[in-house]
């Protein structure tokens, strides 16, 4: 399989390594100050570019009918625009805030727990905390936002807020520490006790391998997809 890598930072390099281990050919690499190969030769593109470049990079591939797997966060205010662009050009697009199989299972656990806790919402208030390495540019993480959306879907909360909580909103605390790959915790606190669920990544490899697997699945497809379609855990 011929792949394009859009964004060749630490994650892009790890993705390229896993792709090559699975006998894929990297035919195009694009980074801020580096371009190599030909995008037109790719069967599928994986985008982990910086948020400012994400939309233009995704569109460049979709315009050539090259399906795109994207894990970049921090650009989602333009998600519907990209979806419409993908449909217009009859290509394929799969966005995930996190490609780790463990995290996607955690999303489902999170929704189930939120459903269980909903009748006790007045006593137990949910809070989300995410911790990442100091190089992560956006806050909160896309994974934390996905967790918040899962809780909102099952409860009466209407939105999330970063590092504060107004009436009817979920607080997300975002911390940047050292080289932490990613830790996400949901706390349900009451006056007498606390219930918590947590996902802790030990290294970034799970994200990278998941993105490569997603690209294998997406190649040749047309439409808008998610990790649920791949893992069949809806």
Catalytically annotated residue among 136, 184, 199, 203: 136
Burial class (CB in 10 A: 0-12, 13-18, 19+), 8: buried
d(CA 222, CA 7): 23
Element at 81 (helix H, strand E): helix 79-88
Nearest by Cα to 185 from 171, 200, 175, 170: 200
Identify the DSSP state of 188.
E
CA dihedral 110, 116, 119, 125 (to 10 degrees): -40
My answer on whether omega of the bond before 140 falls inside 30° of 0, hence cis, is yes
Collapsing DSSP states into helix, strand and coil, what is residue 60?
helix
136 is catalytic: yes
Beta pairing class for 194-201 and 182-189: antiparallel
Catalytically annotated residue among 3, 24, 59, 132: 132
Collapsing DSSP states into helix, strand and coil, what is residue 29?
strand
Element at 231 (helix H, strand E): helix 227-231
Burial class (CB in 10 A: 0-12, 13-18, 19+), 118: middle
CB 56 within 8 A of CB 39: no
CB 71 within 8 A of CB 47: yes
What residues act catalytically?
132, 136
């Amino acid at each position: 399989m011929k792949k394009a890598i859009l964004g060749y930072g630490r994650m892009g390099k790890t993705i390229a390594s896993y792709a090559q281990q699975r006998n894929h050919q990297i035919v195009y690499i694009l980074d801020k100050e580096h371009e190599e190969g030909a995008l037109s030769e790719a069967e599928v593109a994986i985008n982990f570019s910086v948020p400012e470049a994400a939309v233009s990079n995704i569109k460049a591939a979709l315009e050539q009918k090259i399906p795109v797997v994207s894990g970049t966060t921090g650009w989602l205010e333009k998600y519907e625009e990209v979806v419409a662009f993908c449909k217009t050009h009859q290509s394929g697009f799969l966005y995930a805030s996190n490609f780790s199989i463990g995290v996607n299972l955690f999303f489902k656990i999170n929704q189930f727990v939120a459903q269980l806790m909903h009748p006790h919402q007045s006593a137990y208030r949910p809070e989300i905390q995410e911790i990442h390495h100091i190089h992560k540019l956006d806050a909160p993480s896309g994974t934390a936002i996905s967790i918040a959306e899962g809780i909102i879907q099952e409860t009466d909360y209407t939105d999330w807020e970063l590092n504060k909580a107004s009436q009817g909103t979920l607080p997300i605390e975002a911390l940047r520490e050292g080289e932490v790959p990613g830790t996400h915790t949901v706390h349900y606190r009451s006056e007498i006790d606390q219930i918590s669920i947590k996902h802790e990544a030990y290294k970034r490899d799970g994200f990278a391998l998941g993105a490569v697997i997603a690209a294998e699945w997406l190649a040749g497809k047309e439409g808008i997809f998610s990790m649920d379609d791949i893992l069949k855990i809806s």
